Structure 1
Amino acid sequence: MTIGNNTAPKKERKSSKKGKQVDENAPLLPKTHDEDGGFDEFNGASFTGAVFNLSTTIVGAGIMALPATMKVLGLVLGVAMIIFMAFLTEASIELLLRFSRVSKSSSYGGLMGDAFGKVGKNLLQIAVMINNIGVLIVYMIIIGDVLSGTTADGIHHPGVLEGWFGVHLWNGRTAVLLVATLGIFSPLACLKRLDSLSYTSALSVALAVVFIVITMGITIVKLINGSIMMPRLLPDVTNLASFWNIFTVVPVLVTAYICHYNVHSIDNELEDSTQIKPVVRTSLALCSSVYVMTSVFGFLLFGDSTMDDVLANFNTDLGIPYSSFFNDVIRVSYAAHLMLVFPIVFHPLRLNLDGLLFPSSRPLNQDNFRFASLTIALISVIFLGANFIPSIWDAFQFTGATAAVCIGFIFPASLTLRDRHYIATSKDKMLCVFMIVLAVLSNGVAIYSDAYALIKKNSSPTA
């Protein structure tokens, strides 16, 4: 590779700032661009672009489940828990970055490999694959439900396109998802750098803000005309069952900020790696604001009628003029938001699969055939899953929640407790024990509650 006189000093400065060695087998991205022959003209990702990419990684489908947590916890405790989880997530990411600098690892997988060897790296890769495949299938299912409608328990819920144009073959679920896959998901998934998605990420965040602004406006109008009652501020605990019900929201809150699998990728693309901590803090502050406003105004608007997925509440009369119009705007903007989140989550999925299948091969972004083959294979699996397994929710409540808390809390805590380079403080280790306990508790509650609901549902017809 030929490097011009103006390029070399810049690349040298970038390398010295990062102070990292690139692990050729590290799955979670990227070789840094100074060693990657495919990005000679890349001058480093901007701070703003990095913030939008990380924020888009965080804010996905889970945002719509947060208003329901307010119904269980009440506004005061619910908002406090959202903010608390943001601080806990920042702490876990800070641990990852600190140990990455010391071990000179440029990826999450490389860091796990440094601490636990090949087994640790493979566990991380498998966890990211389970989590991200599940998330992306759920995204596609939601997009299909919003645009084409869905039928549950014999009741048909019309989609936006069906409401506008009636029932046609071209706006059926399979046709809509095929067009979205070929026209949106595939082109965006073919971009090799996360920074190339900074504009779509900014638009994705803007669409989430559209949802908040409309919900806020509707809520204020209904507050003025007196049609909204005072919301519950604290949990309503009347018996043991209601007490245990509080813990059912823990998995939602624990997984709300999972973005750890993209932190190293974004860090590797920054010109100055000292920016990564401000990027993380800015993203978490932005996402916390989005989460708090969505939760508060969603719960204020629907009260005890708030559904597990608040988007389902926007399929009824809101009690204001132009209710149908606002319902459609909210649902379409949310579907578009998920479409733009898709490539950000897909990026680390492809890299981890490549790390598992081809650990000794040259960097993925330098092998177009391997890059294209993995992209086509993964998108095909996700497309088929969304079309032929529409009730995938139950399965991925088990696998997705477990993998997510491993990525976000159990693995960072385990790295710290392992403390291979002897840099962890007593405070760090106490925090990590708390993280592991919280993660195991949330997993246990999620699995128990989902299993109990499934058993109760299956046994009810014979009761």
Structure 2
Amino acid sequence: MAGPSYSAISTDNTDDMVVNVAIPAEAVGEGLAHHRRRRSSLGKFSFKGEASWTSSVVNLLNTIVGAGVLAMPAAMSAFGMFPGILVIAFSAFCSGFGLYLQSRCAKYIERGTASFFSLSQITYPNAAVIFDAAIAIKCFGVGVSYLIIIGDLMPQVVEGFVGDVGNMMFLVDRKFWITAFMLVVIPLSFLRRLDSLKYTSFVALVSIGYLVVLVVAHYIIGDTMWNRGEVRYFSWEGPIPALRAFPIIVFAYTCHQNMFSILNEISDNSHASTTSVVSGSIGTACSIYILVAITGYLSFGSTVTGNVIMMYATSFFTTVGRAAIVVLVMFSYPLQCHPCRASIDNVLKWRPSRASFRFPPPKVTAQPVMSDLRFAIITSCVIVASYFVAMTVTSLERVLGFVGSTGSTSISFILPGVFYYKISDPNSAHPVLKEGEGEDCPWDLDTAKKRVLRKASVVLVGYGCVVMAVCLGFLTFFAE
């Protein structure tokens, strides 16, 4: 499918258009006047997004809600029910605030070109490669975990539906199912636009809906009460179990790697629209997590395990539920491949910069997408590498714990806070940061609100650093 389109309308009668404007460090102080001259020479730049509000929410929600929803009852067991609700809601707020800061940062750069990389170019150019490497590693690790889940669950799904497989032992071989599902994953991973995945994301959300109904229904029926453990409403299990459960809740909201793609593709990128996308997706995910956590925990009490659906007695409905998890992670894999590919491309294109600030080259006459050959090579490398890792490794919990503690924390809290604090400095002389147009420009907030928002971004960075240190320390010294 073709990528997003640009159009340029010349402001004079000449046939030539300046498409590269170099701004030396000594010229930055000219500020607003210089920026206006640049706009005059470039002509009017416009970008048209095509994604609807609904598809944006669906894709972002599907990026958030994954198989981690099944671990929420166990996480609540560690904290106790009411403290667990507060932790789930607080984690949703922090992740939502990170997404909000990303939407504000996107207003400072050309429409349709927002990414962690492009923000790095006008804030911390020489650190861009670190940021994108963290995103690529995180997304690659999550994608591998999805393939491992498929390999682990499909044999159980087959046994649940078929029973004895007889001589067809390949049907209970995890490697066979990983290979088979790659035939579905590969074409989806080669789609250029995130909006193209809106239908598969909808199917994945239907699977999540089924799992939620299954957990709630078993609680209402009460068929697990005979073996239920202790239920703690206000007291926790202890500091070590709580530290083990905390990363599960925090990382369950990680979707920030796809937020800029959402902002680039959405047709209405006004402040109200993008904020409602954030609140709608985060709010829905938080409601799902709390509902599953409460009903799952009240069903099994302290005996609940990390995958609540595996605790129910084998039946047609639970087997369908396990199959629904497979469908969920199968359609979630492309949502991890999309930002992983973009970040790898940015890492390969990165070159050291001597300037403190650097103008992103104006993208007027060309689409901001990589070439077909480059796109195919990077995508193929990601798919092949994740396939071989999933085929050879059966457990990635500890590795993904470190990846999640570093990559997920960085892109969820640290990077949004750092970028916003730097790019929203009202004393900056950088032309892009000084001029705003229209009611939806970055400077539409009054001075007091901007000051509060910048301070809050620093708090979010501090919170991310604490989460990273706590999670890494726990994985190093206290993990099982």
TM-score between the two structures when normalised by the length of structure 2:
0.76
The answer to whether the Cα contact below 8 Å between 2:160 and 2:315 also exists between their aligned partners in 1 is no
Task: Name the stretch that deviates more: 297-306 or 441-450.
Answer: 441-450
Name which of structure 1's ranges 97-106 and 419-428 shifts more when overlaid on structure 2: 419-428
Query: What stretches of structure 2 of length at least 5 have no aligned partner?
Result: 10-18, 22-44, 352-360, 427-442, 444-448
User: Gaps spanning 5+ residues in structure 1: where?
Assistant: 1-6, 14-21, 25-33, 37-41, 150-156, 318-322, 458-463
C-alpha distance 377-383 of structure 1, shift in aligned 2 (>3 A): same
Secondary structure of the residue aligned to 2:395 is coil
Aligned partners of 1:350 and 1:378 also within 8 Å = yes
On the 8 A contact 1:204/1:340 being kept in 2, the answer is yes
Q: Does 2:248 match 1:252?
A: yes
| CA distance in 2: counterparts of 1:78 and 1:102, whole angstroms | 37
Shift of 1:247: 3.0
2: CA distance between counterparts of 1:276 and 1:35? 19
Q: Label 1:113 to 1:65 Cα distance change in 2 as closer, same or farther (>3 A).
A: farther
Which residue pairs with 1:414 in the alignment?
418
Once the two structures are overlaid, the 10-residue window that deviates more, 438-447 or 263-272, is: 438-447
Q: Deviations over 1:74-115 (max 9, x none)?
A: 111111221222222222222122122134462222112221
Matching residue of 1:153: none
Q: Deviations over 1:387-420 (max 9, x none)?
A: 1011222112112221100000011122233345
Q: In structure 2, how many angstroms separate the alpha carbons of the residues matched to 1:113 and 1:251?
A: 31
Once residues 164 and 109 of structure 1 are traced to their aligned partners in structure 2, the CA distance between those partners, rounded to angstroms, is: 52
Choose between structure 1 and 2: higher helix proportion: 1
The one-character-per-residue Cα deviations of 1:226-278 (angstroms, maximum 9, x if unpaired) are 875773212336xxxx2344233222222221111111111111112112221
Structure 2 match to 1:130: 137
Shift of 1:169: 2.2
- Structure 1 residue 81 and structure 2 residue 87: aligned? yes
- Separation in structure 2 between the aligned mates of residue 55 and residue 381 of structure 1, nearest angstrom: 27
> Which whole-Å CA distance do the structure 1 matches of 2:397 and 2:160 have between them?
22
* Equivalent residues of 2:49, 2:268 under 8 A apart: no
Counterpart for residue 401 of structure 1: 405
Cα deviation digits, residues 415-461 of structure 1 (max 9, x gap): 2333453278443344334323332332233223322356xx6xxxx
Corresponding position of 1:262:
258
Alpha-carbon distance between aligned partners in 2 of 1:86 and 1:71, rounded to the nearest angstrom:
18
- Residue by residue over 1:292-351, the C-alpha shift from the partner in whole angstroms, topping out at 9 and shown as x without a partner, is 11111121222111112334324xx3xxxxx42222111111111111111111111111
Moved more, 82-91 or 357-366: 357-366
Alignment correspondent of 1:18: none
Q: Which of 59, 64, 67 does residue 61 from structure 1 map onto?
A: 67
Q: In the TM superposition, what is the alpha-carbon distance from 1:212 to its structure 2 partner?
A: 0.5
Q: 1:23 to 1:76 in 2, by over 3 A?
A: farther
- Give the root-mean-square deviation of aligned CA atoms: 3.2
Partner of 1:327: 318
SS of the equivalent of 1:273 reads coil
Is contact 1:50–1:195 with CA below 8 Å preserved after alignment?
yes
1:23-62 matches, cutoff 5 A: 44-62=50-68
Letter in 1 for 2:258: N
| 1:289 alignment partner in structure 2 | 287
Contact 1:350-1:375 within 8 A present in 2 as well: yes
Distance 2:63 2:277 in 1: 13
Q: How does 1:84-233 map to 2 (within 5 A)?
A: 84-104=90-110, 106-119=114-127, 121-148=128-155, 160=160, 163=163, 165=165, 168-182=169-183, 184-222=184-222, 231-233=231-233
Distance 1:400 1:215 in 2: 27
* Pair 161,188 (structure 1): closer, same or farther in 2 beyond 3 Å: farther
Structure 1 CA distance for aligned equivalents of residues 473 and 225 of structure 2 = 42
Letter in 2 for 1:135: V
Equivalenced residues, count: 406
Task: Answer yes or no: is the 8 Å Cα contact 1:146–1:160 preserved in 2.
Answer: no
Shift of 1:118: 3.3
TM-aligned CA distance change 1:371 to 1:103, over 3 Å: closer
State the 1:148 CA deviation: 2.6
AA matched with 2:334 = P
Distance (Å, rounded) in 1 between the aligned partners of 2:109 and 2:369: 24
